[in-house]
């Protein structure tokens, strides 16, 4: 959120540091307009604010499945607490929702009007249903209490400052390649994802936050370039020059077979589309993880 500070805003950053890392914000700590508060959104908080970005919740399956009950609480109680804060302060509030609300989609590419195909009792449900319920709460606070809301559905995102133990496919493959380890394809690697570079996501998120009040979303933000996981592995091997082999591991339960955003709404309403091709974003991400390995951080 460097852009917010550069624009002259005061930023209060709330984090419980379950998956966050203080190294990612250390360059902001000396800025008098930046304040860090260790806080968990499942508990209420009283602050004076005029804009709220509710990004709280672990987003990687390994992290959100570590304590599934807490994951549901983070999305549901967290949304209630943040919406309560927005209502009291008359702040505009943005919810980070997810492509996971589409589950294992029958409609491809995914449009915002598609209601999704989520297994309500599976191991991903704590994340998917938590985020779906948060969307419901946002729309109800908007209709019932007139809170100004924005819902953004974020598709797979990657880039520098990802946690080395994030457990997601980009960080796993890049670190495996840089360490000369085998690259772990879950299943046959034929499932697809569409990877959006972090800066592109932030641009879309800020454009939605600054859009006219009648634009509530949900709006998909993601990169429509669709790749199989095998293609991603091959690109990482090529860009790192690694000698890693591809090895297969079991496909996790309910792993979506394909995913690609339809971004017509974002293009039309926000004038937004991603500008960073996967190859370019991967090069920057590889350089970042090389730096961490050099520093001995991971
Ligand atoms: N995946 C993989 N190897 C890994 C990590 C993930 O093949 O080491 C696969 C995973 O099964 C999924 C895709 O990559 O099909 C994206 O997984 P990730 O956890 O990054 O995100 P999500 O499944 O939430 O989209």
Return the structure tokens found at 24. Answer: 């990612």
Fold of 40-164+197-225+258-276: Rossmann fold (3.40.50)
Nearest atom in ligand 1 to the alpha carbon of residue 172 is 8
Q: What is the pLDDT of residues 58-112, one digit of tens each?
A: 999 999 999 999 999 999 999 999 999 999 999 999 999 999 999 999 999 999 9
Q: What is the pLDDT of residues 247-296, one digit of tens each?
A: 999 999 999 999 999 999 999 999 999 999 999 999 999 999 999 999 99
- From 158, 167, 170, 186, the mutation candidate for ligand 1 (largest count of ligand atoms within 8 A of CB) is 186
Contact assessment for residue 248 and residue 232, using Cβ atoms and an 8 Å cutoff: no
Q: What is the pLDDT of residues 140-177, one digit of tens each?
A: 999 999 999 999 999 999 999 999 999 999 999 999 99
Q: What pTM does this model have? A: 0.98
d(CA 225, CA 85): 37
- Look at residue 42 and tell me whether its pLDDT is greater than 50: yes
Report strand pairing: 192-194 vs 226-228.
Answer: antiparallel
Catalytic residue list contains 141: no
Q: How far is CA 170 from CA 113, 230, 235, in A?
A: 29, 12, 11
- Look at residue 2 and tell me whether its pLDDT is greater than 60: no
pLDDT of residue 176: 98
The residue nearest atom 12 of ligand 1, judged by CA position, is: 255
- From 156, 158, 167, 168, the mutation candidate for ligand 1 (largest count of ligand atoms within 8 A of CB) is 168
C-alpha closest to that of 228 among 181, 195, 277, 275: 195
pLDDT of residue 203: 97
- Look at residue 1 and tell me whether its pLDDT is greater than 70: no
Separation of 270 CA from ligand 1 center, angstroms? 29
Please list, in sequence order, all residues whose beta carbon lies within 8 angstroms of the beta carbon of residue 41, skipping any fewer than 6 positions away.
Answer: 14, 16, 54, 56, 74, 77, 78, 81, 82
Q: What are the residue boundaries of the structural domains of the chain, listed by start?
A: 40-164+197-225+258-276
Mark residue 83 as left, alpha or beta (left: phi above 0; alpha: psi -120 to 50; beta: remaining).
alpha
Percent residues over pLDDT 70 in the chain: 99
Average model confidence (pLDDT) across the chain: 97
Length of the chain: 298
pLDDT of residue 3: 86
d(CA 57, CA 24): 17
Ligand 1, pocket residues at CB < 6 Å:
60-61, 156, 168-169, 172, 184-186, 191, 193, 229, 252, 255
Nearest atom in ligand 1 to the alpha carbon of residue 100 is 24
C-alpha closest to that of 281 among 243, 241, 218, 225: 225
> With DSSP H G I counted as helix, E B as strand and the rest as coil, what are the percentages for the chain, rounded to 5?
40, 15, 40
Eight-class DSSP state of 287: H
Eight-class DSSP state of 101: G
C-alpha closest to that of 99 among 89, 86, 87, 112: 112
Percent residues over pLDDT 90 in the chain: 99
pLDDT of residue 178: 98
């Amino acid at each position: 959120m460097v852009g917010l500070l550069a624009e002259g805003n005061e930023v209060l950053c709330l984090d419980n540091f379950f998956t966050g890392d203080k190294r990612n914000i250390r360059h902001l700590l000396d800025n008098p307009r930046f304040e860090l508060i260790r806080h968990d959104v499942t508990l209420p908080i009283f602050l004076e604010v005029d804009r709220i970005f509710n990004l709280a919740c672990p987003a990687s399956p390994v992290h959100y499945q570590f304590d599934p009950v807490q994951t549901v609480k983070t999305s549901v109680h967290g949304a209630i607490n943040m919406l309560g804060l927005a209502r009291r302060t008359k702040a505009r509030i943005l919810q980070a929702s997810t492509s996971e609300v589409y589950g294992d989609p029958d409609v491809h590419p995914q449009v915002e009007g598609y209601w999704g195909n989520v297994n309500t009792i599976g191991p991903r449900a704590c994340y998917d249903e938590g985020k779906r319920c948060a969307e419901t709460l946002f729309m109800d606070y908007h209709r019932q209490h007139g809170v100004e809301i924005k819902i953004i559905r974020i598709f797979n995102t990657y880039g520098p400052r990802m946690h080395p133990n994030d457990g997601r496919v980009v960080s796993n493959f890049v670190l495996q390649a840089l360490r000369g380890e085998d690259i772990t394809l879950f299943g046959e690697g034929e499932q697809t994802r569409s990877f959006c570079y972090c800066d592109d996501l932030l641009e879309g998120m800020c454009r939605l936050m600054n859009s006219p009040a009648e634009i509530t979303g949900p709006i998909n933000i993601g990169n429509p370039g669709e790749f199989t996981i095998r293609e991603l592995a091959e690109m990482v091997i090529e860009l790192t020059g690694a000698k890693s082999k591809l090895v297969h591991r079991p496909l996790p339960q309910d792993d979506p077979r394909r995913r690609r955003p339809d971004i017509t709404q974002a293009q039309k309403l926000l004038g937004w589309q991603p500008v960073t091709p996967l190859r370019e974003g991967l090069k920057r991400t590889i350089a970042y993880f090389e730096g961490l390995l050099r520093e001995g951080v991971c």
